[in-house]
Every structure is written in C-alpha cells, then in structure tokens.
Amino acid sequence: MTPTPPAQPAASHSTVTWDGAVNAHHVAGGLYRMGRSEWLTPAGWAQLYDDGVRTVIDLRNPAERVRRTTDPAVTADLLPPLAVVNTPTEDQSNEEFMALVGHYLSDPAYYGENARLFPEKIAAAFRALAAGQQAGGVVVHCSAGRDRTGLIISMALKLAGREDLIDAQYEQALRGINAWHAVSPVPHPHESHQPESRVSAELEGKLERLHEFLEGLDVEQLLLAPGGDASHGVTREELDAVRALLT
C-alpha cells in the first residue's frame, strides 16, 4: 500500500500552501492575505478555491495589475469560479499623498494619511469584504501583501475586536516579503532582503506606528461616514458581515 505523501510545506515567505503564492497567510475565520495574485499557479488557484475562498480583493491600482514574464501562465479557463474585485485604497496621482509616502505606501506611519485622503476608497474595500463574506472565504492582496493589505486587515481586525492578532499578522507580512526578496527572480527596485537585526528593528518601529494609527481611529465611524459623508459609507449590516468573516 502506497503511503500518503506528507503535506506540502509552506515556503519560507508564506504560512499558506497555495502553489506559487507569495507572502500568503491565514488571518482569521474566512479571511486570508497575500502578495500579488499573478504569482499563483493554476494549481495554487485551485488550492485557494479548495480552502473556501470565493472572492479575491485586489487593492492595487489598475496600472499595477500586469503579468510579468516570470509569472506562471494562467489563462481564464484555468481559473476557478470566483470573484476578483479591484478596489484600490489610494490614488497615486494625488501629489500630497505621494509626497508623503515616496515611491509607495510602505509604513504604517502613513496609514492615517491614507485614511484621511481616501476614506471613500477604504469604505469601498470594506464593502467588498462584506459582499465577499456572503459567498465564502476572502483573500485580500496588494503587490507585496504588506502595507496596503496591512491597512485593510488591521482595520478589519480592530472592527471585529481581534486586536490580539494585529501584531502577528503585520509581522508575518513584513517578514514574508523580506524572505521573498531573498529568492525573487525579479529584483525589487526599492527593496532588498535584509538581515534579521535590521528586520527586527524595522518591525519594532512599524508596530509602534501601527498602534498609534489604530489607537486614534474610530473604524466604525470612518466606514459608516467616510470623510463625513454617509452616502459613501457602508451599512451596519455590512459591518456585521465583515465581523462575521473573521469568526
């Protein structure tokens, strides 16, 4: 009798074993996070679906949603029947925002400015989370799967009363993308793999800034009336759906 093969181990950058996925992690309940979806192979998409994911929320801007020559070939007929929703969290043509963050959002120090300048975009991302919960599991991603994703995931955890998970999920994402930089076939234009001493120091500072952002934030109020405008806000039923996604 042939023995059952052991489960595939997760790559050093991920704690979820979806083939090809980078910086992929389970957050809580039916919510997952990862880096850019183009890294997934057809097998990875199938595994994601088998784990109950029915909605993929892409936080990137439309111009970022491109396939690289090093990405696996995945045609539409190979994708499982799930929804892919593009809901950017920022407007990179906004000069004030880009002057603050530099090349891209890479530090919780600027999460507050992101929420201040684009509250309606944050609300739209949560509306997508709520809609996704109705169908099953949800995976959220940006490019690295660290800061735009970290902004939405951290806010969702606070909304759901799961502050106990916030530090761990941000640490996983920061360490995960750093591990990927060590093996990535495409050098990052602004980041590279860093030694543990530097990662630990960076993590400590970023967690402090993440806490500062969350402590001063009324997540529910921002989502119900982004920028003071309830016409662009989510409903209380949608807030409850996001909470349910994390249980």
- In which band, very low, low, confident or very high, does the pLDDT at 8 lie, cut at 50, 70 and 90? very low
- In which band, very low, low, confident or very high, does the pLDDT at 11 lie, cut at 50, 70 and 90? low
Mean pLDDT of the chain: 95
CB 1 within 8 A of CB 168: no
- 154 located within any domain: yes
Domain extent for 88:
25-245
pLDDT at site 137: 99
- 197 located within any domain: yes
- In which band, very low, low, confident or very high, does the pLDDT at 243 lie, cut at 50, 70 and 90? very high
- 7 located within any domain: no
Q: Domains in the chain: how many in total?
A: 1
Average pLDDT over every residue of 205-224: 98
- 8 located within any domain: no
- 218 located within any domain: yes
Give tens-digit pLDDT for 215-241.
999 999 999 999 999 999 999 999 999
CB 79 within 8 A of CB 50: no
- In which band, very low, low, confident or very high, does the pLDDT at 10 lie, cut at 50, 70 and 90? low
pLDDT at site 77: 92
pLDDT at site 12: 87
Residue 245 has pLDDT above 50, yes or no: yes
b/e map 10-40, b = 16+ CB within 10 Å: ebebbebebbbbbbbbbbbbbbbbbbbbbbb
CATH number at residue 175: 3.90.190
- 60 located within any domain: yes
- 141 located within any domain: yes
- In which band, very low, low, confident or very high, does the pLDDT at 7 lie, cut at 50, 70 and 90? very low
Please tell me the pTM assigned to this model: 0.94
- 136 located within any domain: yes
